Structure 1
Amino acid sequence: MKRPDDTHGDFSAGHDWRLGRFPNLMPRRVESILLVSSPYDSFILEEDGLLSELIFSEYTDLGLTHAPSVHRVSTGHEALGAVASGEFDLVIAMARLGGMEIHEFASSVKAIQDDVPVVLLAANEAELTQFGAQIETLTVDGIYVWHGDAKLFLAIIKTIEDRWNAQHDTHVGGVGVIILIEDSVRYLSSYLPLVYSELVRQTRAVMLEGINRMHKLLRLRARPKVLVATTFEEGLALYEKFRTYIFGIITDVRYPRGGEVDPQAGAAFIRKIKEDNPDIPSLLQSAEVSNREIAERLNTAFLHKWSTTLLQDLRLFMLNNFGFGDFIFRLPSGQEVARASNLYEMRRVLRDVPAESLDYHASRNHFSNWLRARTEFVLARKLRPRKVSEFGGMEGLRAYLIQEVDGAIRQNRRGVVEDFTRERFGPGSRLTRIGGGSLGGKARGLAFFDAMLERYQLHKEYEDVSIFVPRSVMIGTDVFDEFLDNNQLRTLALYKAQDEWIRQAFLKAVLPRSLTDSLSAYLAHATSPLAVRSSSTLEDSPYHPFAGVFSTIMLPNNHTDSRQRLSQLCDAIKLVYASTFYEQARQYLRATPHRIEEQKMGVMLMEVVGTRHDHYYYPSFAGVARSYNFYPFGHMKPEDGVATVALGLGQCVVEGSEALRFSPGNPHVLPQLSLGKAFISNSQRCFYAINLDDPDRPVPTEELASVERLDLTVAEKHGTLDPVASVWSHENEAFYDGIYRPGARVVTFAHILKSDLFPLAGILSEVLDLGRIGFAGPVELEFAVNLSANPRQFAVLQIRPFGVTGEQEAVEIDGLPDDLLLVSSEMALGNGIVDGLHDIVYVKPDTFDAATTPAIAAELGKLNETLLAEKRRVLLIGPGRWGSSNPWLGIPVNWAQISAARVIVETSLEHFKVDSSQGSHFFHNLTSLGVGYLTVDPELQRGFIDWHWLDQQPCVFETDLLRHVRVDIPLEARMDGRQSRAAVLKWSVRAEGLNDDI
């Protein structure tokens, strides 16, 4: 197998064929960014991952694996030295430059390298006003103000790139141009991210059917350019330069004209443009509603700048005017006679549309505009300079259009992820999609990784093992939008907080007929059990992964009546949609920069990997693996990775129940087995399987209602226990591989990890390494293995980037006196210092009983509501695994019940010992949200808690299970991410300032 190297270039180069007939657009891109900011400003912009996340996501969405690098310096003088190296394409400078004024800095940069753009980013509006009239004379290439929306960085980069590439891309590819005229820095900083986000969304929505996902994303390079002007003269110069390629005009009303602010400059601009091109789409925007009348007189659209529906209004304008919507065939009178939403429908409609309608649209270049919006530049160029008379009449043009559209469809059929059609879908189909819009993060990650598996043929290294992504159908987010809008659910779901009300309302709603028709055709070929999985647009991002936040419904899919199977599948999809608005999702969203109304839900229909045993269906084993191990020990390195595996379905692992942990780089090192008999109580004692015995059972409103928890004796009866189990001999006090002797059966995976029965460790190392390179960072993988298949199967069920801070500042922990320490941990996640912790909530260790953990979770939920309302910052301490679905292993809370916590401690007690968390969805989400997570194991001398000190603190609230105390002098938590160590100090030793981003 030819492996990619860490430069990532090989993968991109190897897939150049997917560009097909497209020109090499966007030849100049921002590849290296110099960020000039004070340490504090940089911490805000970079350490929380938002900047790197957005850059990563943008380049991943474009099918690239090499994102621009970001280098930070603290002062202007340092920056000038860096610019002199010639390594940077863009300089983003905050206002505080360490003693150097911004105008001096910008001029100096241009003197060193005049083609490097310099952008000023003010931390807030007050900072911007300090420049006063001087701001008009700054030699910078853009001025923006930070409003907390991290998408601003994306807009800055895209604005620069569009300015660079507009001339080339219009000339070579016929790419369209949108002129945006706006002189308000404050408004542009908020509005430009909306324009780019919507432009990319609508460009993605109109990508053609039949091409693979990666190809579609590469074609987003061909989206229209947005060129920004701040004066009348700048806008007019852009129009004259790109007249042939103008998609439309978006202009403010008041801005400079002739050197002075003209309150009607925008109206004058549109009036002048329409004299040259009366049909050009235009939008007049203003903070003054009275200007709507002027827009009406100009026959142009109007948008109120401070409208509460700004994004929706902008979306509708672009959809209806820039060619992104349906092509509506009209007669000269304006009467609609037909419409086409894609090339397939265009090919069909062209056969029957009246000749006078064809003449009407061809004479106004409507066909070429609509095709260009769909990046069909070759066909658009053929049509634009041609006259109808050149085709020998309208029927000649009709035949020509049909021929060319048909040719484009054929060329665009290549790909891995195909759009679903009843005619094409069959046993040979692998990854297909239904509906437009985004596939969502989960589906996108799998589609990307499937392309990598195809490119590098990993399975050839394991000839008797099939390494693959299970056959899946992916439902795009446009179907979600259509479902909400058709059933008038959007507003109700946004404002109704009761989960049960939402659940019932969604179940009563009706899915789009187009979807149910496709599902009916799909079920004719899909007869094995199905996992109906969420794939939100926000899911699986590196720093806010939403792991386990939304629903997955398991369906037996074995009813004899196909109509019942369809009904059950539809209900499962509705329940996944409903989970978008459940309280758990709302609570998680509040801890991120996102709003619930931004959430778009895709759905994956994935065939479950496994084999039928009696009336149960399950894989041989399943698990989660990470390319980075937070808790290495002995000779292990964090980069060796870690995996957690369990017999049967993977619920044991992702929900924090009993499973076996090992390092793929050191598979023979299993310290758990050295515990002997003590290991049995923490080993897997049951497993999960889909129950096939009741096909009439209604679709479960609880995710696991179709999944049954079974004793290991059932697996032994099925013959699936032997490959993964050992026997504990009480007589010899030793483990023996296999189950062919008397004794306690214990899941150890010894046969798998110590012999050649199945190359699990080797495959995991290879797949994790491939994922790490493809995603440009650490990854987490969910997988399933089927030993009963021929060849044996290793299925990648999910892969996502996992946020691990690369460069972490030193945090001093050594040398602190013991009497200052409330908590000490040798296994900790997070980096930095959390201060201002006045509140401590802890589970009372002396009275703790594992049987009471559900009651503890309920009490914590009520207390959390109070703490949130009071905006308290909390240290939370308790035994076992937080968030475990198994109440005997820890406190079964969800995020909504502990969201006030800034630092969480899990500890073992003398009578309650559980391995630390690392494989569960709950653990993943906590760490990605920046919550400090400390593990304490006094028995192994890995930390301690000063319970005596806690018991002496003033009590605010106490029950038989919990105690809430509050201290006058705040605690201070210190996390050293480089060494995975942490300490909580009984009082803050820092002189001033707070920094809770870890």
Structure 2
Amino acid sequence: MFVNGKEEKIIEKIREIIGLNKEVTQKKFYDNIKKFRDYKIKKILLISSSYDYFKLDEEGKLNHLLSEWASFVGEENPLSIVHLETGEECIERLKKEEFDLIIIFNKPTDMSIAKLSKSVRHITNAPIALLGSDPSELSRIFKYNKEIISKAFTWNGDRNIIISIVHYFEDFINIQRASPTDFKRVILLIEDSIQHYSTCLSLLNEEIYKYLKAILNEKLSYEQKAIRFKRRPFVLHTDDFDEGIEFFEKYNKDLIFIITDNYIEKEHRRREIGKEIAKRAKEKNPNLPILIQSSEPVSREELKSEKIKFIQKNAPNLKVVLKKFIRKNLGQTEIKIKDSKGKDLRIKGIDEFEKVLKSLEDDIIFRYAKQNTFSEWLKSICEIELSSKCLSIENQAENPKSLKNQLINLLEDHNYSVNKSLISIFSRRYEEPSIKLYRIGEGALGGKARGLAFIAKLISEYGLDNIFPNLKITIPRSLVISTDIFDAFMENNNLYDLDFYNLPDHRIAAKFMKAELPATIIGDLRAFIKKTKKPLIVRSSGLLEDSLMQPFAGIYESVIFPNESWEEDVRFQEICNSIKYVYASTFFEKARTYIKNIPKNISDEKMAIIIQEAVGLKHENYFYPTISGVAKSYNYYPFPSCKPEDGIVYLAIGLGKYIVEGGRSYAFCPEKPKISLYGTSKDYLKYSQVKYYALNLKPVYRFTNFDEEVALELLDIDVAKKQGILDKIASTYIPEDDKIYPGIYDNGYTVIDFAPIIKYETIPLVKAIRLLLKISEIALRNPVEIEFAVNIPKEENNKAELFLLQIRNMIPLEKRIDIDIDKIPKEKTIVNGEISLGNGVVKGIKNIIYVDQNTFDLLNSTQVVNQIKNMNKKLMEENKPYILIGPGRWGSADPYLGIPVIWSDIAGVKVIVETPYKERHIDPSQGSHFFHDMMASNTLYLITKRIDDVNWEWLREQRVVEDTEFIKHVETQKALKAIVDGKISKGVIIIDE
């Protein structure tokens, strides 16, 4: 999955955090598969006359053949063939360009094959293959030039010979590179007649192609197909007696069948290879199928085995016999079973196998299993690990019921392990419980969905899902509707014709609600809603959203609904309307305003949709997770004794909306989780969560009003206490002792500090989050932010579940600056930021919006929002960046802690300053979307600790452009410059002279 040493670092980090002896088995498996059969011929130089090339290609059929083989594993660019007509052209081209294989098809017009081959060999070590129409002439040339020409083949009018030539060289090199412990299936061809081995190789490749077509069905993912394709049989050919014996001895246990001539001639001596191989096979591999072909008859008594067949080379049905022999012994691509009523059942895939196992009688399964039917079939379709486990069950199980249950469990485990990281095409007929990500459409997945896919891949490849004994790591089951469906929706309903810039949000939403979703997805949505009655959340996944450099987090809408109605039509209508509403939010004022501030146009955005099963547990009429959280691998507000790179984690009870909006949450450093960040025991009470969001499960009928608050309720923490949620996550402050004790007690105050988990490790949540942050940061090469939720069941024996909801890059610090802030003269300083976020210099600002300290009170913070929003809009229209100065937490959902703006309200700002409120310092907000957007916009953020850290007298002397009771917009005569030094997290705003 990763390069440049990332994999080693990730594995090392996993071992460091969870224990030195933990094997990352799934990753090891993928690594081995990746290295197996990795040599490929990609570029061929073909020298032939125009007519010979026409015979090969015949209106593009050769390229079509090459494409068909490449399509098995989704390769868009099959191997390329460069055609030249003369030897001179060939030599000149080889001096300039590298090729993996050179094929000489008959004699070129300007030189002999021997001369051309010698010239080529002086330039390159690439194999040289000779392809000829005249077998006797071909044999003569090859016989005297074997040291130069790698292999000779006869042209029999079948363009498949090109594939045979390519696969011959690939197989020969790859089998030598393979480890002795690698699983291999080998076909051995021993034949010294160029005419006959060319025919056999073409037939073998033709039958292998049909075999692959049967086992690489459309339900398999790219990875599953790639694994099976790599494990197709090797075809080894030799025309030498001694090498034939050597191959047999070396690959005896890997052989699936042998096709051999009876006599091999070498140095005028005929040696009976067929009988020698048959004799050795009887001793070492008596069940090995062998086909002996010879110009002379062989008696049945001489063969002495039912597994050994004979055919005369001049027999009219030679090709038919060869094809039947190859097809029979390549392996079963399906199983045929008779049920108790004598009805034939055909099993073609693992999903069908599982269904048949569950429906078939125990004794019938037992009978077939004891004949190793299932394990042999699994081996033949290249499911090697599964076959090995199946064989063990077949051989060890003592009764039919036990065997059946073991086989079903084996298949369920297998399906989970291979499907958990896949994005599978949604099927109305078939649903695999282990698949977490489905898709509808062929377009892009968008930012959030790509993040989910990345997380799923990480979990799967490194075996993280069950890496902890009492905590399962996973993602919610999700259906992604790709961007091409959005395009179709917009075009089919002529929605691009709307004047979005002059329509209010509710009018845009109404237009979208009246539009029709594309007919191609209606059936899939009905099937999806029929299969689930869990609460659902419909989320945006724009192409620009949550990407590395584009700050779109939280700009579009999400819709959450209970999905509880017994009426399927009601639930179907809810999901359709939710999708249309999220589509509409692409063009809402919030998004339009936001896009103005980045070098993008609203038409650049394409919207994908994620329909996700909401994470949580049912508690009476409410649904919510035990814990929601946001984890960051880099903390721009490091606490004492913690470094920025130690990261920060925020936890809260209930839905994550509470954290994202900047509500009270519990923060800790994942590297030092037991260090208190809140001072004294009494201080915990000030910061402790007192409310939380939950989904109200009572049916809510709404088709035009999609405000999230309709479905969500902000509940008092006492509700969770009554529902028994706090027992495993909270503590109690006892005033008499002035101490906090883990657990819930009647004679104190509830403190949501998650102490049982963080300090006493009842579940390894801290370790899991720390691990995920570290390996994600290694993988993405940037600080990361992860949103997650945790379900803790009330039953002691059940595992807790950690659901990863989203991952994105945090914006890294810009290049460090060389300005020494401490040496800047005080008379030039307008703002002194003791704590600052970001790194860099912003010049040329002349506009400031500031909150008047003399008149403002936090009781008025809500009404100030619109005043700031309107000033922001005017300044953006005039293309004037500005500085924003005011008290308390900017972006807080709690108006008593600061001014509750959202990012689009202040999207034109370049520098933000937090000041104390009436000499009282309020800790900076950690609302995820607000701060992510601020960092992504490269906005500098300065926090002052004292009133006089801002030169208020100078501010009041500036020209007032607009003012209200609490807000002033002033314009300075001289431009200002803001400087933040990321090394020391300090910043200043000065007059730029």
Matched, 1:923 2:926: no
Give the drift of 1:955: 2.2
Matched, 1:753 2:758: yes
Matched, 1:716 2:716: no
Kindly indicate whether the alpha-carbon contact (under 8 Å) linking 1:823 and 1:946 is maintained by their aligned counterparts in 2.
Answer: yes
Give the drift of 1:469: 0.9
1:949 partner letter: W
**Per-residue CA shift, 1:777-833, capped at 9, x if unaligned?**
211000001111721111101011222136423332112233332222232222221
* Equivalent runs, 1:293-692 vs 2, <5 Å: 416-492=422-498, 496-674=502-680, 676-692=681-697
Structure 1 residues not aligned, in runs of 5+: 26-167, 174-205, 226-236, 243-370, 380-390, 393-402, 990-998
The equivalent residue for 1:57 is: none
Tell me the distance in 2 between the aligned counterparts of 1:421 and 1:464. 33
Kindly indicate whether the alpha-carbon contact (under 8 Å) linking 1:559 and 1:695 is maintained by their aligned counterparts in 2.
Answer: no
The equivalent residue for 1:981 is: 986
Matched, 1:835 2:843: yes
Quick one: structure 1 residues 823 and 461, their matched pair in 2 at CA, closer, same or farther if it must change by over 3 Å? same
Quick one: structure 1 residues 568 and 971, their matched pair in 2 at CA, closer, same or farther if it must change by over 3 Å? same
| TM-score normalized with structure 2 length | 0.59
Give the drift of 1:619: 0.6
**Per-residue CA shift, 1:564-593, capped at 9, x if unaligned?**
001001111111111111121122222223
The equivalent residue for 2:775 is: 770
Give the drift of 1:882: 2.0
* Equivalent runs, 1:779-858 vs 2, <5 Å: 779-788=784-793, 790-805=798-813, 807-858=815-866
Matched, 1:894 2:899: no
SS of the aligned residue for 2:844 comes to: strand
Tell me the distance in 2 between the aligned counterparts of 1:664 and 1:908. 29
Runs of 4+ in 1 over 4 A off after TM superposition: 7-25, 168-173, 219-225, 374-379, 409-415, 493-497, 697-700
**Per-residue CA shift, 1:430-466, capped at 9, x if unaligned?**
2111111111111111111211111111244311111
Quick one: structure 1 residues 778 and 966, their matched pair in 2 at CA, closer, same or farther if it must change by over 3 Å? same
Kindly indicate whether the alpha-carbon contact (under 8 Å) linking 1:3 and 1:456 is maintained by their aligned counterparts in 2.
Answer: no
The equivalent residue for 2:104 is: none
Tell me the distance in 2 between the aligned counterparts of 1:740 and 1:466. 30
Kindly indicate whether the alpha-carbon contact (under 8 Å) linking 2:891 and 2:901 is maintained by their aligned counterparts in 1.
Answer: yes
**Per-residue CA shift, 1:301-354, capped at 9, x if unaligned?**
xxxxxxxxxxxxxxxxxxxxxxxxxxxxxxxxxxxxxxxxxxxxxxxxxxxxxx
Give the drift of 1:731: 4.0
Quick one: structure 1 residues 12 and 742, their matched pair in 2 at CA, closer, same or farther if it must change by over 3 Å? closer
SS of the aligned residue for 1:519 comes to: helix
Kindly indicate whether the alpha-carbon contact (under 8 Å) linking 1:648 and 1:687 is maintained by their aligned counterparts in 2.
Answer: yes
Tell me the distance in 2 between the aligned counterparts of 1:8 and 1:806. 29
Quick one: structure 1 residues 500 and 15, their matched pair in 2 at CA, closer, same or farther if it must change by over 3 Å? farther
* Equivalent runs, 1:832-981 vs 2, <5 Å: 832-910=840-918, 913-938=921-946, 944-981=949-986
Kindly indicate whether the alpha-carbon contact (under 8 Å) linking 1:425 and 1:522 is maintained by their aligned counterparts in 2.
Answer: no
SS of the aligned residue for 1:967 comes to: strand
**Per-residue CA shift, 1:698-723, capped at 9, x if unaligned?**
47421332111001111111111233
- Number of residue pairs matched? 650
Quick one: structure 1 residues 547 and 24, their matched pair in 2 at CA, closer, same or farther if it must change by over 3 Å? farther
SS of the aligned residue for 2:987 comes to: strand
Kindly indicate whether the alpha-carbon contact (under 8 Å) linking 1:822 and 1:946 is maintained by their aligned counterparts in 2.
Answer: yes
The equivalent residue for 1:696 is: 701
The equivalent residue for 2:166 is: none
1:5 partner letter: E
The equivalent residue for 2:126 is: none
SS of the aligned residue for 2:520 comes to: helix
Kindly indicate whether the alpha-carbon contact (under 8 Å) linking 2:836 and 2:941 is maintained by their aligned counterparts in 1.
Answer: yes
Give the drift of 1:889: 2.8
2:943 partner letter: T
**Per-residue CA shift, 1:249-304, capped at 9, x if unaligned?**
xxxxxxxxxxxxxxxxxxxxxxxxxxxxxxxxxxxxxxxxxxxxxxxxxxxxxxxx
Tell me the distance in 1 between the aligned counterparts of 2:80 and 2:931. 41
1:988 partner letter: D
Quick one: structure 1 residues 906 and 220, their matched pair in 2 at CA, closer, same or farther if it must change by over 3 Å? farther
Quick one: structure 1 residues 494 and 859, their matched pair in 2 at CA, closer, same or farther if it must change by over 3 Å? closer
Kindly indicate whether the alpha-carbon contact (under 8 Å) linking 1:23 and 1:172 is maintained by their aligned counterparts in 2.
Answer: no
Q: Greater relative contact order (Cα 8 A, min sep 6): structure 1 or 2?
A: 1
2:949 partner letter: F
2:476 partner letter: P
Kindly indicate whether the alpha-carbon contact (under 8 Å) linking 2:466 and 2:473 is maintained by their aligned counterparts in 1.
Answer: no
Tell me whether 587-596 or 721-730 shows the greater mean CA deviation. Answer: 721-730
Quick one: structure 1 residues 7 and 648, their matched pair in 2 at CA, closer, same or farther if it must change by over 3 Å? closer
Kindly indicate whether the alpha-carbon contact (under 8 Å) linking 1:825 and 1:982 is maintained by their aligned counterparts in 2.
Answer: yes
1:696 partner letter: Y
2:597 partner letter: A
2:692 partner letter: F
SS of the aligned residue for 1:671 comes to: coil
Tell me the distance in 1 between the aligned counterparts of 2:844 and 2:875. 14
2:859 partner letter: A
Tell me the distance in 2 between the aligned counterparts of 1:574 and 1:495. 19
| TM-score normalized with structure 1 length | 0.59
Tell me whether 715-724 or 555-564 shows the greater mean CA deviation. Answer: 715-724
Tell me the distance in 2 between the aligned counterparts of 1:883 and 1:922. 6
Quick one: structure 1 residues 538 and 23, their matched pair in 2 at CA, closer, same or farther if it must change by over 3 Å? farther
Tell me the distance in 1 between the aligned counterparts of 2:556 and 2:613. 19
**Per-residue CA shift, 1:22-78, capped at 9, x if unaligned?**
9878xxxxxxxxxxxxxxxxxxxxxxxxxxxxxxxxxxxxxxxxxxxxxxxxxxxxx
Kindly indicate whether the alpha-carbon contact (under 8 Å) linking 2:700 and 2:711 is maintained by their aligned counterparts in 1.
Answer: no
Quick one: structure 1 residues 711 and 890, their matched pair in 2 at CA, closer, same or farther if it must change by over 3 Å? same
The equivalent residue for 2:7 is: 4
Identity percentage of aligned residues: 35
Kindly indicate whether the alpha-carbon contact (under 8 Å) linking 2:892 and 2:927 is maintained by their aligned counterparts in 1.
Answer: no
RMSD value, Cα: 4.4
Kindly indicate whether the alpha-carbon contact (under 8 Å) linking 1:882 and 1:906 is maintained by their aligned counterparts in 2.
Answer: yes
1:486 partner letter: N
2:866 partner letter: A
Tell me the distance in 2 between the aligned counterparts of 1:471 and 1:611. 15
Tell me the distance in 1 between the aligned counterparts of 2:45 and 2:464. 38
Tell me the distance in 2 between the aligned counterparts of 1:796 and 1:637. 25
Quick one: structure 1 residues 884 and 778, their matched pair in 2 at CA, closer, same or farther if it must change by over 3 Å? same
Give the drift of 1:426: 4.7
Tell me the distance in 1 between the aligned counterparts of 2:566 and 2:865. 42
Give the drift of 1:207: 14
The equivalent residue for 2:195 is: none
Quick one: structure 1 residues 937 and 704, their matched pair in 2 at CA, closer, same or farther if it must change by over 3 Å? farther
2:992 partner letter: S
Tell me the distance in 2 between the aligned counterparts of 1:755 and 1:504. 52
Kindly indicate whether the alpha-carbon contact (under 8 Å) linking 1:494 and 1:596 is maintained by their aligned counterparts in 2.
Answer: no
**Per-residue CA shift, 1:586-642, capped at 9, x if unaligned?**
222222232211211111111111111110000111010011111213221122110
